Structure 1
Amino acid sequence: MARITAGIGTSHVPAIGAAIDLGRTADDYWAPVFAGYEFVKAWVKDNTPDVVILCYNDHASAMMLDIVPTFAIGFAEEFEPADEGWGPRPVPTVIGHPDLAGHIAEQLVIDEFDITIMNDIAVDHGLTVPLSLVFGQPEEWPCKVIPLAVNVTQFPTPSAERCWKLGEAIRDAVECYPEDIEVQVWGTGGMSHQLQGPRAGLIAPEFDNAFLERLAAGPDGTSELRGITRLDFLREAGTEGIELIMWLIMRAAMGPNVDELHRFYHVPASNTAVGHVVMKPKAQFRHKLGEVEARKATAA
């Protein structure tokens, strides 16, 4: 059966992608940022998953404001890089895993998550920058990717608690998938930043570091993260700080307790703080297949 082997959290700053694509990672400004990712680039060589479930937000590249799903999962065989106004990034096409995506969608509906199915979606820097930070600049990505898009741009956005429960449901779904594959869950976006208004340029290191500390904690610490309200994110971390709810999906998918392998925080990168973590579940919390089949029967 499938198993979740690790979780990665990272910012997905578009300027980071530009620095990679233009060969500027060694510039004085950017070198400290990319130094924080040397660990994960080395670690992933021996820990490359079969599939990454990548939680990100679309930046009006594939989903305009006429239709805004709260949660959407990519079903396609392939996902092309999006054109964000200056052309798509020169990165490989993202290869999907429709079978696992379909299984996850079915289980999420059983768990009362009304997930939106996306059969055709281009993926922007929210998804491709994390792939570049971890895997570098390969001719093709070394694993398949299931995009999981979260609405953090149009009110009402999902709550921290709802995202946590989604992560738990994703863990349950993966662990009853019959194929023997290794899966990682990535949470992207953030950390604290604000792009507009009187507080444009806001960065809150104290909030960010407290978030990272609690993220690595057991249930007592993570319960505080689950209680952060949307207004708290706005006040403490800026209008775009809400992106951190996608890290909570990743963290919940790891189970109650984790081993933190790496943590990095840097200010600034463009107009935001950059955060990054690598963690593994302390143990596999696997649902018995019979329990899942019983839930299916009840739902039917």
Structure 2
Amino acid sequence: MFFFLVRRVVSGVVLVFAVATITFLLMSLTGGNAARNILGETATEAQVAAKAAELGLDRPILERYLDWLGAALHGDFGTSWFSREPVIESLANRFPVSLSVVTVAVLVTAVLATVLGITAAVRRGWVDRFVQVFAVIGFALPNFWVALILVTIFAVTLHLLPATGYVPITTDPGRWALGLILPVTALVIGTIASTAQQVRGATIDILERDFVRTLRARGISRTSLLFRHVLRNAAGPALTVLSLQFVGLLGGAVIIEKVFALPGIGSLAVNATTQGDLPQILGLVVVMVVLVVVVNLVIDLLTGWLNPKARVS
């Protein structure tokens, strides 16, 4: 296990380095004239050249990259070219919002998808057909459209839930939870269905194994059979899909945050990309890749803990 963790950490560091390097090169070569974007179209060529020199854009790409990399290794991702706010501070202010939405969405997906998937696998009747239909509908509905419908019904018409805004959990846990109901619901409509299908397929596969028939013949209760043996062996594929869903939810949260006016990294990423704010983009990329690496590592550890065969392999 120790060597497994070392290999995964090393590969994660290499991945972060590679993605950051590629992002830096692409943005430097194709990101447009950031100095012109900052000063506006009315600025003179002399003013643009002076601003470019101030930002270091007149220096060679390799030199600028090495300077950024050296500072980043010490935890300094620079300052936003447009807001003049340190990148670390902007991420620290906005990242908890996005992480709250995505984490709650993943937990809701895991619980509901497990219940639906196991029920559909055990009862091959209307529940199974419901999961199949729900999966198709969930894939077909865009999450931003679902978000608009939810806001119209539950916020504008019924006045049951807030339409916009975010309250930190440390300030008011109740208002924090109420503010996440609509964004999380809009995010998980499609992910619950697809994850439930994976749980259903994996559960059916395990139920048809010889060791399950042997356990049934020994008189083990149905509940113990499902939760102590079947679910543990079927958890691997479901956890893998859930990790992929986490990455997808991070991307979907960009649009959802716009709809619900949440001050997360979604709006920050959109603004930084359209403006060509290289320090902000690099900070976002590094944080997102690190988060994905950590989530995949946690999923691998959970899979090994639940399934000894996966742990050995």
**TM-score bucket (shorter structure):** under 0.3
TM-score for the superposition, normalised by structure 2: 0.24
Higher relative contact order, chain-length normalized (CA < 8 Å, sep 6+): 1
TM-score for the superposition, normalised by structure 1: 0.25
More helix by share: 2
Between structure 1 and structure 2, the one with the greater Rg is: 2
More strand by share: 1
